[in-house]
Amino acid sequence: MNISTLLNERLILPNLTATTKQHVMEEVVKHLAEVQTGINAQELLKALLEREKLGSTGIGNGIAIPHGKLAGLSDIILVFARSTGGVPFEAIDGKPIHLIFLLVAPASSTGGHLKALARLSRLLKNDEFRHALLSAPTAADIMKTIAGEDSRIAV
């Protein structure tokens, strides 16, 4: 599974304004609901916050991968958001997060979202890739960076 097939420029937020974990989730979910028809923002936010209660999706190295399932979806959706200032997110390393990949899967999804999570984790191990995401000036540049890394790393 290639991450770049789950994402498009409209689903990239290069300049988050939120400064708390709760507000990050709200801002990203609101943007997704505005861009993607059929997304119930309140339902999705509830699912994401319930998942966070199990443990933070802040995986360290400035990265968070909040994820959840939503009824009514037919495909997995990915949203990328960036906070240049960083946001406290209860990450496992205790550091603020800058790169957020929000993954939403259909309620009936069994393995697809796990494959997407594994793929994201694999791509994000690369320090240069993470730095490139932090420094890419526009949503188009971020998309090119993701697509380039996605094609470079074998599936």
Active site residues: 67
Strand partners, 103: 67, 78
DSSP at 36: S
Name the one residue in this structure whose structure tokens are 């793929």. Answer: 119
DSSP H or E run through 89? none
Measured CA to CA, the distance from residue 152 to residue 52 in angstroms comes to 31
CA–CA separation, 108 and 120 (whole Å): 21
